[in-house]
Amino acid sequence: MSSKKIIGKMADSIDPSLFDFAEYDESKSELTGYSNYSFWRSTVQVFMKNKVAVALLILMVCVIIFTVIQPYLPNQKSPTQIYINPETNLQYRNVQPNDEFRFGTNSIGQDLWARIWSGTRTSLFIGVAVGLFEALVGITIGALWGYVRKLDAIITEIYNVWDNIPSTVVLIILTYIMKPGISTIIFAMCMTGWLEMARFVRNLIIIIRDREYNLASRCLGTPTNRIITKNLLPYLVSVIMLRMALAIPAAIGNEVFLSYIGMGLPLDIPSLGNLINEGRALMMDPNQRYQLFFPAAVISVVTISFYVIGNVFADSADPRNHV
C-alpha cells in the first residue's frame, strides 16, 4: 500500500477539492439507456434503406392508382367496345400500336391499352381479395389449430383430407359448377388458398407457444384469444406479411392458369389471364406478338414487385434486423 504509484498519466493538475465525497443519489443509478424504440418506426426505417423495394413500392402504388383513374382520363377508349374503321367500315383488327391505339388492337378490334388496364384492375382486385381472405381465415384457423390443443387433432384431420385433393381439381370443379364470374373465381381460390396459410401459421405458433412468457400469461389467467392476439401474432407479423404479399401474385397467376384452361373469367371481362390467353394464340406471328408482350410485361412487373416488396418488408419487420 505504501509505495503507491500512478501508472497512467500523472494527474497532478486536478483540483484537490474534487477528492471530496460526492452526493450519492440512489434513484439515479436505476436510470439506464432509453433508446426510444418503436417497432413500426424501425420497420419503416429498415425498409426505406432498400432503394429497389422503395422504387417498386412507388411503382405499384402508381399502377394501382392508375388502374383506378384510367377510365376517367380524357381520350380513353372502352375496353370492351369493338372499334370500327369509319373509312372501310371494317373492324380495326390487329392494328399495331400507333397514336390512336397505344398498345394496338386485338383480333376483333378492341383497344388493347384500355383492356390491359381494365384487366390489371380485375386481376389485382382478385389478388388482393384472395390474399386478404387467405390471411384472415388462414391466421384465425392456424392460430386456433396451433394454440388450442384440443382442436389440433380434428383440424389436422380436416387438413389432411382437404390437402389430399389437388387444389387444381378443386379450382376446376368449383369454377365449373358455379356461374363464371369474378366472385366465383375469388371463392374458388379462397377455398384452396387458406389451407397452406393455416398450416404455416400453425407451425409458427407451435414453435413459440410454450415459451415462458406465454406460460406467464396463462398463469395470470389471460384468455386464449388475447394470448393469440397479444402474445403470438405480433411475433409473426413479418412472416405473415410476406405470405400475404406472395398470395397476391399467386392468385393472379392462378387466374391466368384458369383462363388458359378455359375455366377462367368469361371473355367479356378483360383480365390479365384472358389477355394473355388471347395473346398466346397469336404468339407465332411476329407482327402480332405485341398482344402477348404487353399483358405479359404487366403481369411480370406486378408479380416481381410484390415478391420483392414482400421479402424486403418481412426482413425489415424482423426485430433482429433493427440494427
Partner 1 sequence: MNNKEKLLEVKNLRVEFGKKNKKFVAVNDVSFDIYKGETFGLVGESGSGKTTIGRAIIRINPAASGEVIYKGKKISGQIDKELDKELTREIQMIFQDPMASLNERAKVDYIVSEGLYNLKNYGSEEERKKKVEQALLDVGLLPEFASRFPHEFSGGQRQRIGIARVLVMEPELVIADEPISALDVSIRAQVINLLDELQKKKGLTYMFIAHDLSVVRFISDRIAVIHKGKIVELAESEALFANPLHPYTRSLLSAIPTPNPRVERNKVIEVYEPEKSHYDYDKNPPHWQEVEPGHFLLANERELTECKIK
Partner 2 sequence: MAQKTIEEIMNSEVVLSIKDLVIKFNLRGQELTAIRGASLDLHKGESLAIVGESGSGKSVLNKSFMGLLDSNGRIESGSIMYNGQDLAKFKTEEDWIKIRGKEIAMVFQDPMTSLNPLKAIGKQVQESIELHQNLKGEEAKKLAVEILNDVGISEPERRYKQYPHEFSGGMRQRVVIATAVACNPNILICDEPTTALDVTIQAQILQLLKNLQDKYNLTIIYITHDLGVVANVADRIAVMYAGDIIEIGSSEEVFFDPKHPYTWALLSSLPQLGVKGEALYSIKGTPPNLFKEIKGDAFAPRNPHALKIDFVERPPYFEVTPTHKARTWLLDPRAPKVEPPPLVKKMQELYIEAGDKVE
Give the C-alpha separation, 247 to 166, whole Å: 18
The distance of closest approach from Cβ of residue 203 to partner 1 in the complex, given in angstroms and rounded to an integer, is 19
Taking the alpha carbons of 89, 92, 93, 98 in that order, is the dihedral positive or negative? positive
The distance of closest approach from Cβ of residue 40 to partner 2 in the complex, given in angstroms and rounded to an integer, is 14
Among positions 2, 19, 21, 33, the unique one binding partner 1 when judged by CB under 8 A: 33
Give the C-alpha separation, 107 to 128, whole Å: 30
Residue with cell 389430399: 164
* CB-based contact 270:115 (threshold 8 Å): yes
The option from partner 2, partner 1, none interacting with 39 (CB < 5 to 8 A, set by class) reads partner 1
The distance of closest approach from Cβ of residue 150 to partner 2 in the complex, given in angstroms and rounded to an integer, is 31
Q: Which stretch binds partner 1 (CB under 8 A): 14-22, 23-31, 190-198, 285-293?
A: 23-31
Question: Bridge-partner residues for 171, per DSSP?
Answer: none
Applying CB under 8 A, which residues contact partner 2? 1, 3-9, 11, 14, 16-22, 24-26, 28-30, 32-33, 35, 37, 42, 45, 322-323
The distance of closest approach from Cβ of residue 200 to partner 2 in the complex, given in angstroms and rounded to an integer, is 26
Calculate the CA 126 to chain-centre distance. 13
Taking the alpha carbons of 241, 245, 250, 255 in that order, is the dihedral positive or negative? positive
Which 3 state secondary structure label does DSSP give 309?
helix
* 37 belongs to the binding site for partner 1 (CB under 8 A): yes
Per-residue contact track with partner 1, 205 to 234, x per CB under 8 A?
------xxx-xxxxxxxxx--x---xx--x
The option from partner 2, partner 1, none interacting with 218 (CB < 5 to 8 A, set by class) reads partner 1
Classify residue 97 by burial, with Cβ atoms within 10 Å: 0-12, 13-18, 19+. middle
State the residues that interact with partner 1 by CB under 8 A: 27, 30-35, 37, 39, 211-213, 215-223, 226, 230-231, 234-235, 319
